[in-house]
């Protein structure tokens, strides 16, 4: 979703801003822009629809300035167009970039129009820059103008603002959307996430809800929501500038698929002893809290939701703990009833997904006492707002289609199942079994990756198709959902997943030679049932693509294609088979020439509702 970068320095900041935008490209966007205060203390701005490289081509060395802001826009209000791209400017004096949504923008627009302000865009953002200008005209103080403007805004925002009246100053604010301050020597920065600023600094302050930051070259002053000056901790990032580099891989998504054995190993490191899971891995006081837990409620969005669906099978079958899973955007607007002693678990790669954060807040208002975030970003709002947290150690995930974050979420869920389950039905032996299996998972994942060439050989059968069906049973049903989501996200082929037993209740009507049917068939007690469902497809002339455990003995024929997967314990199978489905989606999308890492219309981090 929209990305923000800003800088106040002595040197020309345009190259820093453009490099920052390039590093935020993964969030998803459709247009980009930059504004600086030039050597004559005038605001200069360049915007363009399309990629950051298009913006760069327009800039072509024409703009320079030591104070500036830049933005990648993901359209919400107003189509992707140059006039809707940020920065927005009011009366050649104030320039602003915004991430989030201003809900009362129509009301503000009406009021400002009466006051004589002219609108040049269809965005909800433009009202903010006019509001700030209004107060700047009174106060001639940018910080004060921003602080006076903010109470008029209803909704979510991360903002960066500059004015030609104060060339060496940058004011930032956050409410509901992430924003970090980067600390340099004699220069300071803001950005939507640390990745944008890694070439210029490793030291960061993570702004809290309601914070306003006043940046000059010499100092950074932060005011909390009540207007008091506050000291926020300075964090040293351990990421290097090339931690988010693509290396030898053609796409980030492929790199991230191949990083999974390492990501899984890192997620297990320091979390497990020889035979058990350390409760401390979930945060201070986790052990005492876990002793009281009688039910689990999982809430998440997108790929993270699919991880939760798999987790439910494990919580109920292994730990015998009742577990519900719901997409966050539904949970937050229902009137859910949670059992006493429920552990409320949120799953999120980014930790900034607006719906998931709102669901967490809602859970607290209905009396949930114990919350746990399983998240990939330590400084995220979700981690900060949850009582307990288990951080997946996937490392930065850049491809919009989530891969390594998903499989490490599954690992984290198994750690939680083992820890909660030890206290009940699962017992020490069950925990020992899970821990032992998890240790084998990096190698199993490597084995799955070694089937890459076989997966690629299936690509021609999908590349020209409009639709595909994915089938699975048990934990493999959500795996099939994740496979279908991957394919639709990046190749734009319409793909649906069904529990294989549901086939005859509707989707079988769609099966014909133009509908490839993908099945995930590990060697478990459901295989015979799945096998019968696959026969139903074959009998209707459908073409089957089956990932099957070697011991199932499925034979290939003209219309049944089989990739044999090394025998895998059922508990590890969701990770192993997901890797294969990720590879399938990836290679099909590559063959279609799709924009793998930034699929159309999608955003990595969905910070609006
Ligand atoms: C977006 C991304 C998905 C992701 C979902 C949830 O839709 O494109 O890849 O699964 O958000 O994101 P989260 O960061 O909460 O896991």
Of 253-257, 343-347, 395-399, 539-543, least confident by mean pLDDT is: 539-543
CB-based contact 89:35 (threshold 8 Å): yes
pLDDT band at residue 260 using 50, 70 and 90 as cut-offs: very high
Ligand 1 pocket test, pick from 304, 326, 598, 608 with the greatest ligand atom count within 8 Å of Cβ, gives 304
- Is the pLDDT score of 420 beyond 90? yes
pLDDT band at residue 42 using 50, 70 and 90 as cut-offs: very high
- Is the pLDDT score of 287 beyond 90? yes
Alpha-carbon gap, residue 228 to 596, rounded angstroms? 45
Alpha-carbon gap, residue 427 to 312, rounded angstroms? 18
- Is the pLDDT score of 184 beyond 90? yes
Residue in 51, 255, 488, 604 annotated catalytic: 604
User: What is the average pLDDT across 333-337?
Assistant: 89
DSSP at 193: S
DSSP at 136: H
Report whether residue 599 contacts ligand 1, using a CB cutoff of 6 Å.
no
At 2 the pLDDT is 87
Q: For Cα atoms 12, 199, 266, give the angle at the middle one, nearest 5 degrees.
A: 165
45 CB-near residues (< 8 Å, 6+ apart): 33, 34, 35, 87, 89, 95
Interval 105-126: pLDDT, tens? 999 999 999 999 999 999 999 9
Closest ligand 1 atom, CA of 350? 14
Q: For Cα atoms 596, 599, 602, give the angle at the middle one, nearest 5 degrees.
A: 145
Q: Cβ-count burial of 473 within 10 angstroms (0-12 exposed, 13-18 middle, 19+ buried)?
A: buried
- Dmax of the chain from CA atoms? 79
CB-based contact 70:113 (threshold 8 Å): no
137 CB-near residues (< 8 Å, 6+ apart): none
Long-range own/partner contacts, residues 554-563 (CB < 8 A, 24 or more apart) = 554/521, 560/534, 561/458, 561/461, 563/451, 563/454, 563/455, 563/458
Percent of the chain with pLDDT over 70: 100
Report whether residue 303 contacts ligand 1, using a CB cutoff of 6 Å.
yes
CB-based contact 197:239 (threshold 8 Å): no
CA torsion angle 382 386 389 391 (round to 10): 10
Interval 216-248: pLDDT, tens? 999 999 999 999 999 999 999 877 777 777 888
Report whether residue 350 contacts ligand 1, using a CB cutoff of 6 Å.
yes
Ligand 1 pocket test, pick from 1, 298, 301 with the greatest ligand atom count within 8 Å of Cβ, gives 301
Handedness of CA 395, 401, 404, 407 (dihedral sign): positive
- Is the pLDDT score of 321 beyond 80? yes
User: What is the average pLDDT across 328-334?
Assistant: 91
Interval 472-500: pLDDT, tens? 999 999 999 999 999 999 999 999 999 98
- Is the pLDDT score of 1 beyond 80? no
Q: Is 90 a catalytic residue?
A: no
Alpha-carbon gap, residue 94 to 163, rounded angstroms? 4
353 CB-near residues (< 8 Å, 6+ apart): 301, 304, 328, 382, 605, 606, 607
Alpha-carbon gap, residue 496 to 467, rounded angstroms? 8
The residue with greater pLDDT, 407 or 598, is 407
Q: Is 323 a catalytic residue?
A: no
Alpha-carbon gap, residue 189 to 417, rounded angstroms? 42
- Strands, E assignment, 342-394: 342-348, 370-375, 388-391
Distance 485 CA to ligand 1 centre (A): 11
Report whether residue 604 contacts ligand 1, using a CB cutoff of 6 Å.
yes
Percent of the chain with pLDDT over 90: 78
Handedness of CA 461, 462, 468, 469 (dihedral sign): positive
């Amino acid at each position: 979703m929209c990305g923000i970068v800003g800088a106040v320095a002595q040197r020309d900041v345009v190259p820093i801003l453009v490099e920052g935008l390039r590093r935020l490209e993964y969030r998803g966007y459709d247009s980009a822009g930059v504004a600086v205060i030039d050597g004559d203390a005038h605001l200069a701005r360049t915007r363009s629809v399309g990629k950051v490289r298009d913006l760069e081509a327009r800039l072509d060395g024409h703009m320079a300035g030591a104070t500036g802001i830049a933005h990648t826009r993901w359209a919400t209000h107003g189509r992707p167009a140059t006039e809707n791209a940020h920065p927005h400017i009011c009366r050649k004096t104030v320039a602003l970039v915004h991430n989030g949504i201003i809900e009362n923008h129509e009301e503000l627009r009406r009021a400002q129009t009466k006051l004589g302000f002219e609108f040049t865009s269809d965005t909800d953002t433009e009202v903010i820059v006019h509001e700030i200008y209004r107060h700047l005209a009174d106060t001639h103080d940018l910080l004060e103008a921003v602080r006076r403007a903010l109470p008029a805004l209803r909704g979510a925002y991360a903002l960066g603002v500059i004015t030609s009246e104060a060339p060496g100053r940058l004011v930032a604010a956050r409410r509901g959307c992430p924003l970090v301050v980067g600390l340099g020597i004699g220069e300071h920065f803001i950005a939507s996430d640390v990745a944008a600023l890694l070439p210029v600094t490793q030291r960061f302050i993570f702004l809290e809800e309601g914070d306003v930051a006043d940046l000059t070259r010499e100092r950074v002053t932060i005011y909390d929501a009540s207007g008091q000056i506050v000291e926020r901790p300075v964090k040293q990032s351990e990421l290097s500038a090339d931690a988010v580099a693509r290396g030898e891989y053609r796409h980030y998504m492929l790199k991230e698929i191949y990083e999974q054995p390492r990501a899984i190993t890192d997620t297990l490191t320091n979390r497990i002893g020889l035979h058990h899971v350390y409760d401390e891995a979930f945060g201070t006081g986790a052990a005492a809290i876990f002793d009281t837990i009688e039910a689990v409620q999982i809430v998440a969005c997108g790929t993270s939701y699919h991880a939760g669906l798999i987790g439910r099978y494990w919580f109920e079958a292994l730990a015998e703990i009742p577990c519900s899973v719901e997409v966050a955007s539904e949970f937050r607007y229902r009137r859910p009833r949670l059992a006493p002693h429920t552990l409320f678990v949120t799953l999120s790669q980014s930790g900034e997904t607006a719906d998931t954060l709102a669901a967490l807040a809602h859970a607290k208002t209905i009396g949930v006492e114990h919350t746990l975030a399983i998240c990939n970003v330590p400084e995220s709002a979700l981690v900060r707002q949850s009582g307990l947290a288990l951080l997946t150690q996937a490392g930065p995930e850049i491809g919009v289609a989530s891969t390594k974050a998903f499989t490490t979420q599954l690992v984290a869920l198994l750690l939680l199942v083992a820890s909660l389950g030890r206290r009940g039905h699962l017992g020490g032996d069950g925990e020992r079994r899970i821990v032992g299996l998890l240790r084998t998972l990096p190698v199993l994942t490597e084995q799955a990756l070694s089937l890459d060439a076989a997966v690629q050989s299936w690509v021609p059968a999908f590349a020209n198709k409009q639709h595909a069906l994915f089938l699975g049973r048990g934990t493999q049903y959500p795996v099939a959902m994740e496979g279908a989501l991957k394919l639709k996200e990046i190749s734009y082929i319409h793909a649906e997943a069904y529990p294989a037993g549901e086939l005859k209740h509707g989707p079988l009507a769609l099966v014909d030679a133009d509908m490839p049917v993908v099945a995930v068939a590990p060697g478990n007690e459901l295989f015979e049932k799945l096998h019968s469902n696959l026969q139903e497809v074959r009998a209707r002339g459908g073409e089957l693509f089956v990932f099957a455990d070697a011991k199932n003995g499925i034979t290939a024929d003209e219309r049944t294609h089989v990739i044999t997967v090394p025998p895998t314990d059922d508990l590890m199978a969701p990770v192993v088979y997901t890797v294969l489905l990720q590879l399938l989606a990836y290679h099909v999308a590559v063959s279609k020439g799709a924009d793998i890492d930034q699929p159309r219309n999608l955003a990595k981090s969905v910070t609006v509702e």
